[in-house]
Chain A
Amino acid sequence: EAAVTQSPRNKVAVTGGKVTLSCNQTNNHNNMYWYRQDTGHGLRLIHYSYGAGSTEKGDIPDGYKASRPSQENFSLILELATPSQTSVYFCASGDQGTEVFFGKGTRLTVV
């Protein structure tokens, strides 16, 4: 079964601190995505990747970096976390097909 695992599941960070959200997929999918979900905005695309070594900007990349060191792993990095980045973050994987598989999400609170 397709699997996308995110860690941590919950995180409290201090304003100005660095946060790294990790994602691992065992689907052997080329594409991976990071979305954030806020009430009233739905899922918004932050960064995505076509494969190891590639990262692309989505609709709201400001304040975020991404890293894809391997086919399986895709990280989202907040170098200087701000309270406006408090949200639920979802990682997903998929190919040029019909279905995208999501991880269970990471709830990030920046205080």
Chain B
Amino acid sequence: GQGVEQPAKLMSVEGTFARVNCTYSTSGFNGLSWYQQREGQAPVFLSYVVLDGLKDSGHFSTFLSRSNGYSYLLLTELQIKDSASYLCAVRGSNYNVLYFGSGTKLTVEP
């Protein structure tokens, strides 16, 4: 099977940063995506990475290490509205299918 693991909860403070971790163990690798999901809503695409290193997209940055099966989503200059669940999803050997982690619920406090 495909294993994608994330911590269940994360708390941080407005104006600072938060790092959401994801580890994966899959048969093959064809990219990793991050989604944001607000309570009662559908997941929304944030970022996609397939090569090692840091991808800076402004408010969101994404890091990938394929050799370690590890990624993180970095949110900077946090706002209260960044409070949401963040889902990590991996495409394994089957390029057509996304396997999701359980998500990390981020709470940003004033």
Partner of B96 from A31, A40, A42, A44 at Cβ < 8 Å: A31
List of A residues within 8 angstroms of B45 by Cβ: 98-101
A26-56 interface bits toward B, Cβ cutoff 8 Å, 1 = contact, 0 = none: 0000010101000011111100101000000
Which size bracket describes the interface of A in this complex?
A: 20 to 34
Interface residues of B in 31-50 (CB under 8 A from A): 31, 33, 41-45, 48
Partner of A42 from B1, B31, B95, B102 at Cβ < 8 Å: B102
A103 at the interface (CB under 8 A from B): yes
A43 to B97, CA, bound (A): 12
Query: Would A100 and B98 count as touching, CB distance under 8 A?
Result: yes
Query: Would B42 and A58 count as touching, CB distance under 8 A?
Result: no
A103 to B8, CA, bound (A): 24
A76 to B67, CA, bound (A): 37
Kindly report which residue of chain B lies nearest to residue A96, judged by CB atoms: B95
Query: Would A59 and B1 count as touching, CB distance under 8 A?
Result: yes
Query: Would A102 and B33 count as touching, CB distance under 8 A?
Result: no
A59 to B26, CA, bound (A): 13
Q: Which residues of B contact A (CB under 8 A)?
A: 1-2, 8, 31, 33, 41-45, 48, 87, 89, 95-103
Question: Can you give 18 A-B contacts (C-beta < 8 A)?
Answer: A33-B98, A41-B102, A42-B100, A42-B103, A43-B89, A43-B100, A44-B100, A45-B97, A58-B97, A59-B99, A90-B42, A96-B95, A98-B31, A98-B33, A99-B33, A99-B48, A100-B89, A102-B44
